[in-house]
Amino acid sequence: MPLDLDSIEIEFKCPNCGFSNRVRLKQIRLGEVVICSGCHRDIKLVDKNASTKRVIERIEKSFEDLERTIKEINRR
């Protein structure tokens, strides 16, 4: 079963008012604009150096490696 890491939510503080907001990793990866729940200003999400995308890819690969290892152990 593939992981849906894009649906994981994280919390961040608005750079303008400091209010805590929640976004999904997918929104960060896609560079969406969200509205702060506190001050209602637009916040452009930036995946600097594609770090969110790279982390998601690494986690997915790690789980694939783990699945492969477990299958190999079960065959023995």
| Residue 2 pLDDT grade (very low, low, confident, very high; cuts 50, 70, 90) | low
Residues 6+ apart with CB under 8 A from 42: 33, 34, 35, 36
pLDDT at residue 1 is higher than 60? no
Domain segments of the chain: what residues?
8-75
How confident is the model over 51-67, as a mean pLDDT? 89
| pLDDT at residue number 4 | 83
How confident is the model over 19-29, as a mean pLDDT? 95
CATH topology of domain 8-75: Rubrerythrin, domain 2 (2.20.28)
Determine the Cα–Cα distance for residues 6 and 53; give it in Å rounded to an integer. Answer: 9
Report the length, in residues, of the chain. Answer: 76
